């Protein structure tokens, strides 16, 4: 399968989808029951990747922690007022084994699911959790030395960070340096060379059944972060592991969940894509200047950034962005270069987050305005120039003296060698604004049609005007245009 520039990804919550499908069919369901028409629909929407969240086998010990942790249970009840114990299936990141969860079908069902996706030109992405395992992972019994262990004094001093496994000893919970441990996990020891070998083997095994991995909290095992957290000299994992996998699977894709300004570091270590949480945060602040500054980063970095408005960790975009700013933020998120990440339910404007510990959610209500908007947005993303064209951040200037609203505009230009052109411009502010957008393309002395790809707006402008003054725009609060531009021929 060929590599796609600026791909689109749809994150599917497998647990939730199969639960809802079971309700529809009134029987237990597996991956094989997801209908072909649904896969056809994902392909028709233009997605390149399906990221199947929660597909791996989890254990009973992790589930028991999820069902008894009072803080977590309180959160579940806020999300799901009619919560029952059977709704709590345990965190999908407390992984017991990298094999299909038995509830989702026999082992062959995963390969068959991947084959069905491939038949439609779709690729499959699955999770890889490098930092920790479930407390009932086989290694706890077979290789307890793979884990960071503690003393009775450690457990007494930090009960939130250590637990006792009967007949095995005291083990540290997985954690990052800023928070207490995740009580349904055990921390792997990256100071132990055998752990690096074993985890590389896990990646090689995963690469047999999918096309890429989303690596959970990938920065936690960087040697300096690991030392800061545990005081242990760790071995570097990612460069050699990624190289080993790609030697056998050259097109296999690595996507990193990463924060703390370490995105470029992981790109340099071999990751194809890294989360762009800073863009999300700046969009959420609803201030145009920091968003525009964000897009001034090098193109090499931006093309390998994962752009999102929501995912399983973040609140629902429809719940925290007012409708107008939601649409404006989406235009900026998904019409810049990089991997375009859409979350299960986002296209319908769902507002209720789904916990990674639950296999059921509250009934979600769709938002027709957002459904229509995302339908138009995805359709616009099928334009060839937005997939494989050349992108640049454009300059804006005042429409007239003392009019400062120009500073709220953010504009992108896309073009290619076939003279296909798209202009994206957004007024990222709660009030109307005016500006000139300067588009440094080769304009001919002819008329040009500007057809909005997400609305019925249509304009005609002269090439001489676009070349000298730029394009004058007067745009309402939180509105934008995605203009396909073409010369008018008689």
Supply the DSSP symbol for 360.
-
Quick one: pLDDT at residue 8? 98
Residue 478 and residue 432 in contact, taking contact as beta carbons nearer than 8 Å: no
271 neighbors 263 (Cβ within 8 angstroms): no
Whether residue 51 is found in the same domain as residue 146 = yes
State the Cα–Cα distance between residues 153 and 159, nearest whole angstrom: 10
- Let me know: does 130 contact 215? Beta carbons within 8 Å: yes
pLDDT value of position 273: 98
Whether 435 is covered by a domain: the verdict is: yes
Nearest to 423 by CA among 462, 376, 473: 473
Q: Are residues 362 and 475 in the same domain?
A: no
The span from the CA of 429 to the CA of 479, in Å, is 9
- The pair of structure tokens assigned to 450 is 């500007």
Residue 320 lies in a domain: yes
For residue 169, give the CATH number of its domain. Answer: 3.20.20.80
* β partners of residue 126: 213
Token pair in block for residue 458? 């249509």
CB 339 within 8 A of CB 307: yes
Domain assignment present for 261:
yes
pLDDT tens per residue across span 150-189 = 999 999 999 999 999 998 999 999 999 999 999 999 999 9
The tokens describing 38, both together, are 């649904």
For residue 2, pLDDT over 50 is answered with no
pLDDT digits (tens, 9 = 90+) for 362-381: 999 999 999 999 999 999 99
User: Which of 386, 413, 433 is the endpoint of a domain?
Assistant: 386
Residues 6+ apart with CB under 8 A from 297: none
CA 329 to chain centre: 15
Indicate whether 2 belongs to any domain: no
| Inside any domain, residue 3 | no
Residues 6+ apart with CB under 8 A from 180: 160, 161, 173
Domain count, the chain: 2
pLDDT value, residue 113:
98
- In order, the DSSP letters of 65-133 are HHHH-HHHHHHHHHH-TT--GGGB---TTSEEEEEE-GGG--THHHHHHHHHHHHTT-EEEEEE--SEE
Among 327, 360, 386, the domain boundary falls at 386
Decide if pLDDT at 476 tops 70. Answer: yes
User: If you average pLDDT over residues 257-270, what whole number do you get?
Assistant: 98
Give the confidence band of 4 by pLDDT, cuts at 50, 70, 90.
confident
pLDDT at 200 over 70: yes
Q: Closest by alpha carbon to 96, among 50, 129, 124? A: 129
206 domain residue, yes or no: yes
Q: Which helix (H) or strand (E) holds 437?
A: strand 433-438
Tens of pLDDT, residues 82-125: 999 999 999 999 999 999 999 999 989 999 999 999 999 999 99
In this prediction, residues 443-460 reach a mean pLDDT of 95
pLDDT score for 5: 87
Split at pLDDT 50, 70, 90, the class of 252 is: very high
Q: What is the pTM of this model?
A: 0.96
- One domain for residues 168 and 216: yes
Q: Report the C-alpha dihedral over residues 225, 193, 99, 132, rounded to 10 degrees.
A: -30
pLDDT digits (tens, 9 = 90+) for 392-445: 999 999 999 999 999 999 999 999 998 899 999 999 999 999 999 999 999 999
Does residue 111 fall inside a structural domain? yes
d(CA 116, CA 51): 14
Alpha carbon distance 211, 114 (integer Å): 9
- Percent of the chain past pLDDT 70, that is, above it, reads 99
Residues 382 and 394 in one domain: no
Does 471 have pLDDT greater than 70? yes
- 110 touches 31 (CB < 8 A): yes
**For residue 138, what pLDDT is reported?**
97
Buried b vs exposed e over 231-260: b needs ≥16 C-beta within 10 Å?
A: eeebeebbeebbebbbeebeebbbbbbbbe
The two tokens of residue 432 are 């109307």
End position of a domain, from candidates 386, 402, 426: 386
Q: Are 413 and 431 in contact (CB under 8 A)?
A: no
Q: Is 466 exposed, middle or buried (0-12, 13-18, 19+ CB in 10 A)?
A: buried
Instruction: Note whether 169 and 217 are same-domain residues.
Output: yes
Answer yes or no: do 281 and 380 share one domain.
yes
Q: Which of 314, 361, 317 is nearest to 81 (CA)?
A: 361
The bridge status of strand 273-275 relative to strand 409-415 is: unpaired
Count CB-CB contacts under 10 A for residue 112: 15
The answer to whether residues 377 and 456 belong to one domain is no
| Residues 201, 166 share a domain | yes
* Strands across the sheet containing 169-172: 149-150, 169-172, 162-165
Higher pLDDT, 50 or 489: 50
208, HSE (Cβ side, Cα atoms, 13 Å): 10
User: Residue 481 belongs to what domain range?
Assistant: 389-487
Q: What rounded mean pLDDT belongs to the chain?
A: 96
- What is the band of 1 on the pLDDT scale with cuts at 50, 70, 90? very low
One domain, residues 86 and 229: yes
Considering the domain architecture, whether residues 416 and 330 belong to the same structural domain is answered as no
Is there a domain that residue 1 lies in?
no
CATH number of the structural domain spanning residue 473? 2.60.40.1180
Contact call for residues 185 and 132 (beta carbons, < 8 A): yes
Which residues touch 442 (CB under 8 Å, ≥6 apart)?
Answer: none
Do 380 and 267 belong together in one domain?
yes
Domain match, 38 and 169 both:
yes
Q: Work out the number of other CB atoms within 10 angstroms of the CB of residue 412.
A: 22
What confidence score (pLDDT) does residue 3 get? 52
Query: Does residue 418 sit in helix, strand or coil?
Result: coil
User: 316 with 351: CB under 8 angstroms?
Assistant: yes
């Amino acid at each position: 399968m060929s590599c796609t520039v600026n791909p689109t990804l749809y994150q599917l919550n497998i647990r939730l989808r199969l639960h809802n499908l079971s309700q529809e069919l009134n029987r237990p369901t597996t991956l094989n029951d997801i209908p072909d028409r649904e896969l056809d629909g994902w392909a028709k929407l233009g997605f390149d990747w399906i990221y199947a969240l929660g597909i791996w086998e989890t254990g009973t010990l992790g589930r028991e922690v999820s069902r008894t942790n009072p803080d977590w249970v309180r959160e579940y009840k806020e999300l799901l007022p009619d919560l029952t114990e059977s709704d709590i299936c345990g965190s999908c990141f407390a992984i017991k084994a990298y094999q299909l969860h038995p509830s989702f079908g026999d082992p062959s069902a995963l390969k068959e699911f991947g084959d069905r996706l491939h038949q439609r030109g779709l690729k499959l992405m699955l999770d890889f959790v490098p930092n920790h395992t479930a407390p009932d992972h086989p290694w706890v019994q077979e290789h307890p030395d793979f884990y960071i262990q503690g003393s009775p004094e450690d457990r007494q001093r930090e009960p939130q960070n250590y637990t006792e496994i009967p007949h095995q000893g005291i083990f540290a919970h997985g954690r990052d340096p800023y928070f207490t441990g995740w009580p349904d996990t055990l921390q792997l020891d990256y100071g132990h060379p055998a752990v690096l070998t074993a985890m590389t083997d896990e990646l090689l095994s995963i690469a047999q059944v999918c096309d890429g991995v989303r690596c959970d909290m990938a920065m936690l095992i960087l040697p300096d972060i690991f030392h800061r957290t545990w005081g242990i000299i760790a071995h570097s994992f990612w460069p050699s592991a990624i190289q080993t996998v790609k030697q056998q699977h050259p097109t296999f894709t690595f996507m990193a969940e990463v924060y703390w300004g370490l995105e470029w570091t992981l790109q340099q270590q071999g990751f194809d894509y890294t989360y762009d949480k800073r863009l999300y945060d700046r969009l959420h602040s609803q201030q145009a200047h920091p968003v525009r500054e964000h897009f001034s980063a090098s193109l090499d970095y931006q093309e390998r950034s994962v752009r999102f408005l929501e995912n399983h960790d973040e609140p629902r975009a429809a719940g925290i962005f007012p409708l107008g700013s939601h649409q404006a933020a989406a235009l900026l998120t998904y019409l810049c270069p990089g991997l375009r990440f859409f979350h299960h339910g986002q296209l319908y404007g769902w507002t209720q987050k789904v916990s990674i510990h639950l296999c059921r959610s509250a009934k979600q209500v769709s938002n027709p305005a957002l459904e229509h908007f995302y339908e138009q947005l995805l359709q616009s993303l099928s334009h060839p120039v937005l997939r494989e064209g050349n992108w640049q951040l454009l300059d804006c200037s005042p429409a007239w003296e003392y009019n400062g609203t120009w500073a709220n505009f953010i504009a992108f230009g896309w073009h290619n060698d076939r003279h296909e052109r798209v202009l994206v411009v957004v007024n990222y502010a709660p009030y109307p604004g005016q500006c000139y957008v300067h588009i440094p393309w080769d304009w001919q002395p002819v008329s040009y049609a500007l057809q909005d790809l997400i609305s019925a707006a249509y304009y005609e402008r002269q090439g001489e005007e676009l070349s000298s003054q730029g394009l004058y725009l007067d745009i309402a609060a939180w509105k934008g245009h995605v203009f396909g531009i073409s010369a008018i021929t008689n």
